[in-house]
Amino acid sequence: MQTEAGRRYRILGTLGKGGFGTVYRAELLGEGGFVRQVALKVLNANVENVGDVAQRLRDEARILGMLRHRAILQVDGLVKLDDRWTVIMEFIEGVDLLAFRPNVVPVGPALEILSEMAGALHVAYTWPGPDGQPLKLIHRDIKPPNILLTKAGETKVLDFGIARASFGAREAETKSVMFGSPGYIAPERMDFVEGPAGDVYSCGVVLFEILMAEQFGKAGARPDRHAQIVERNMDRARERGIPEGVTKLMASMLDYHAEHRPTAREVESQCRDLRSAIKGPWLRDWAEKAVPPLLENRGTGGDHDFSNSVISERSSGLTGASATMSFDGDVKKSHLASRTFDDEPPGAPIVPPAPKPPPAAKPPPAAKPPPAAKPPPKTGLAQLPPKPTSPAPSSTPSPARRRKASNSGLWTTILVATLIVTIITLLALTIGGTAFMAFFLALLSGG
């Protein structure tokens, strides 16, 4: 199948690395000098065939490709780079919420962040899938490191890698395994009960932690025990000056019973109402001052493990925009975008076709080798071809074989003589020396 030329990416550095994958910062290089920064979420080569890791990565790309919300990271394609599955995502210049510790986020900006998070989760759960039915997407891993904030005040929900959805084209099988991070898992999920209320609970924990700059703690195993944990944390929040309306919202989101919690859409609406009554900086004004210093302290991570610094994808016609790729270190080579790989390996140099050289003079005929010896006549049995380096078999025994046969006969004679001597000795001891001599002489004389 004839494939179309793919897009080119220049690797700029590493944004983050985990056990299953690495996120790179890169530039999308287009025609006419077009350049756009993107993020490449690449599956590590050593986990390509481990469990359903690759399937979940592809599911994440396909699902996010269908969603549209300003707080959900946008996906621009699912390809293969260096023969590894890669999700092409929009690059966000921001920091996660964990980066603000040990400082707190003011109440007003915190409510705006939570409102964006809740709105994104509501859209993810209710967004129609290919069949027109809601995707019912549940994130299952809401926590501060998965919420990104830019200096313009934009909020982005990241990492839908363990999300669960009613999506017919998904590859990974939903199993009775609890995914998530300790401290952010709702009580009912301990019993493998999944639902959108579990994400609402996690959002409540995130709100508490960014307002208090400390951890909320694990959910209680019993309703009474859990209620004590929530009440104790709400008392500490009130002591820090958190308004009563905000603590009530948090307490309702952290309720032990899933059916008692507000929906994500209700959380979004309540956050807007509470924010309008709270004085203080707006999220965008606060983020313009708070985020840039954290960006300066963040490492750029210049290393990568690709074959080269510039990589080109190539569509292979597979489902989900799967692709093969080529690469070249020189960005200025325009042939990168039009290269074909039907007859040449990746990385082979591309040069214009050279003119055909004139035919070379024919060499003089070589001397004919002497005729080979005729093979032995066939006997009707399967015969193995003789080894080229082995000498022809000879009917005359070799000196080594003659020595071996001679030695074998000598040892036989010695053994027989030893046996005879042993028998004679035993007879002499049994019948006595005089009688034995008389017997032996009679044996020799034949009488």
pLDDT digits (tens, 9 = 90+) for 29-87: 988 889 999 999 888 777 665 556 777 778 778 888 888 999 998 888 888 888 888 88
Is the domain of 273 the same as that of 222? yes
**pLDDT for position 368:** 54
Comparing C-alpha atoms, which of 325, 302, 276, 266 is closest to residue 88?
325
Comparing C-alpha atoms, which of 38, 44, 139, 35 is closest to residue 89?
38
Provide the residue count of the chain: 447
pLDDT digits (tens, 9 = 90+) for 353-410: 344 445 555 555 555 555 555 554 443 334 444 444 544 444 455 555 555 555 556 6
pLDDT digits (tens, 9 = 90+) for 297-338: 665 555 666 656 888 785 433 333 333 222 233 322 222 222
Is the pLDDT score of 128 beyond 80? yes
In a domain, 76, yes or no: yes
In a domain, 371, yes or no: no
pLDDT digits (tens, 9 = 90+) for 190-226: 888 999 999 999 999 999 999 999 999 988 889 999 9
In a domain, 400, yes or no: no
**pLDDT for position 398:** 53
When pLDDT is cut at 50, 70 and 90, the band that residue 431 belongs to is low
Is the domain of 62 the same as that of 144? no
Is the pLDDT score of 27 beyond 60? yes
Tokens (6 digits) for 332? 């200025």
**Residue 17 belongs to a domain with what CATH number?**
3.30.200.20
Is the domain of 2 the same as that of 141? no
Select from 265, 298, 331 the last residue of a domain.
298
Comparing C-alpha atoms, which of 282, 287, 249 is closest to residue 112?
282
Is the domain of 133 the same as that of 244? yes
**pLDDT for position 65:** 84
Mean pLDDT of the chain: 75
Cβ pair 129, 167 in contact under 8 A = yes
High-pLDDT (> 70) share of the chain, %: 63
Is the domain of 40 the same as that of 111? no
Distances (CA, A) of 135 to 56, 90, 386: 16, 22, 71
> Looking at per-residue confidence, does 129 or 19 come out higher?
129
Query: What span, in angstroms and rounded, lies between the C-alpha atoms of 308 and 323?
Result: 17
**pLDDT for position 148:** 96
Select from 343, 370, 399 the last residue of a domain.
343
Is the domain of 266 the same as that of 312? no
**pLDDT for position 49:** 59
List own/partner pairs for 349-357 with CB under 8 A and 24 or more apart.
none
What are the strands of the beta sheet with 147-150, ordered from one edge? 94-96, 147-150, 155-157
**pLDDT for position 436:** 53
Is the domain of 149 the same as that of 62? no
Is the domain of 15 the same as that of 136? no
Cβ pair 240, 234 in contact under 8 A = no
Is the domain of 107 the same as that of 199? yes
Is the domain of 103 the same as that of 75? no
**pLDDT for position 111:** 98
When pLDDT is cut at 50, 70 and 90, the band that residue 418 belongs to is confident
Tokens (6 digits) for 299? 């490492």
Comparing C-alpha atoms, which of 89, 91, 109, 76 is closest to residue 285?
109
* Stretch 164-168: mean pLDDT: 57
List own/partner pairs for 17-22 with CB under 8 A and 24 or more apart.
19/44, 19/47, 20/44, 20/47, 20/50, 20/53, 20/57, 21/47, 21/57, 22/304, 22/305
Comparing C-alpha atoms, which of 257, 291, 252 is closest to residue 271?
252
Is the domain of 135 the same as that of 45? no
pTM for the predicted model, two decimal places: 0.66
The answer to which of 102-111, 272-281, 332-341 has the lowest mean pLDDT is 332-341
Q: Which domain holds residue 246?
A: 94-298
Is the domain of 217 the same as that of 311? no
pLDDT digits (tens, 9 = 90+) for 130-153: 888 999 999 999 999 999 999 999
**pLDDT for position 18:** 75
Domain count of the fold of the chain? 3
